[in-house]
Amino acid sequence: MSPLIEINDPAFAGANTILIDSRGGQDSHQRYLAGHLKNAIYADLDKHLAAKVTDASMGGRHPLPDVEAFGALLGTWGITPESHVIIYDDKSGAFSAARLWWMLRAIGHKKLQVLNGGLQAANRAGIELSKEEYTPVATKPYHTHGNYAGTVDIDEAGEAAQDETKLVIDVRESPRYLGVTEPIDLIAGHIPGAANLPYVLNLDAEGKYLPAEILRSMYLDAIGNVEPAAVIVHCGSGVTACHTLLGMAYAGINEPRLYVGSWSEWSRRDLPMAKGGN
């Protein structure tokens, strides 16, 4: 199953399909109520897809929630291992949708896709939107096995950035990586040794992913001789990095891992920081 799905796919009307509208920002619920796909469950980045932040230097601005609590949440959404989960957001899939996709994949869920182009693709297709809150039928908590797979911590990320056999990719916009500006975190710059591959390069002019073969070529050029399993992807707080991990999976590269704490954690520690190129 491709990790991406197009808006005209009949799977949207499948009997076992669960549709999730995943958004972030203080006005995310208001935006959901202003227009969402019919029968889409509302998911909030800060409330549902991240733990409460007490100290961003220990886990970053969007640390992962407890995995069992996440499993219980999935149960309230009616999700079982047999559910076909389709996720979208209103940021071309680049924000909360990719994060939720990654989290579900990290606990082993198989039937899982993200709407290519997000809500904007539905608008272009003339899909009628709903303004009614959708309440799903709950089921038992989703059984999780262990913890989220495919993560690295701050120590492993720092060591990998200095290891020629490994690669750390920072997907933030280049001005943030270069240390020219930092609109969110406390300090501008990047992890020394990390390479920059902005997530926006994944998208075409309409906010849809580029064709898989083009993405694969771009990613493999960036990775070079490094084995995909030795690649670590991060961003500001472990959210948009998932957009590139989704693009990699779409391109057939499934092994790279996520540094969840990302720059929001690294920049709040007494650790080396770089500006400009590597």
Q: Which residues lie closer than 8 Å to 69 by C-beta, 6 or more apart?
A: none
Catalytic residue set = 235
What number of CA atoms fall less than 13 Å from residue 100's CA on the CB side? 32
Helices (H), the chain: 28-34, 45-48, 67-76, 96-106, 118-124, 154-161, 174-178, 212-223, 241-250, 262-266
Q: Where are any strands of DSSP class E within the chain?
A: 4-5, 17-23, 40-44, 84-88, 112-115, 151-152, 167-170, 195-196, 231-234, 257-259
Rounded Cα gap, residues 217 and 223, in angstroms: 10
Strand partners, 203: 209
Strand partners, 88: 21
Using DSSP's 3-state secondary structure scheme, residue 201 falls into helix
**Beta carbons of 262 and 234 less than 8 angstroms apart:** yes
Token pair of 6, please? 């197009």
Rounded Cα gap, residues 256 and 244, in angstroms: 10
Q: Which residues lie closer than 8 Å to 80 by C-beta, 6 or more apart?
A: 139, 142
The label of the residue with tokens 């995310």 reads 28
Of 196, 183, 220, 206, residue with least CA distance to 274? 196
